[in-house]
Structure 1
């Protein structure tokens, strides 16, 4: 495995882990699952605070909703595959940003 491929795989894993930690932390505090409905409160400080949260939590929410929809609504495999690719790419981007932030602050070398 090349170093670039390993770095990409590690970024995807970190992105999904960060998303899962954020969503589960939100659910532990608020006693309700996180979702994109957090943006439907109109113009309010709570809505603006939800945007950065959802940027990093979105891969987990997308996969949770996709797998639930596959069981409940019998969604087609193509839709599930497309949602998985989107969540994976989003996870890679958020994981890369998180790792770059850790490197910039000196936590990682």
Structure 2
């Protein structure tokens, strides 16, 4: 990895801000460069975008409180070690 480039954990931690265009220009370019070169991270980005597209139609009141609680629990379990790891540095997760 060249000096100043971002690692996968850092890119995944910045992915939401990257998608929201909330990164400074240099950091945005570094994330974009990593995504262009890293097959795993670009696959993760594709999954995030597919999730956003699939769930984007949901509005308040569309999902029952029970289903919403089950979804939160499911995602919580994945982030605690059921297939997604967290490096402790704020990474949103990485499939293992």
TM-score bracket for the superposition, by shorter chain length: 0.3 to 0.5
Larger RCO (CA under 8 A, 6+ residues apart):
1
The structure with the greater share of residues assigned to strand is: 2
More helix by share: 1
The TM-score normalised by the length of structure 2 is: 0.36
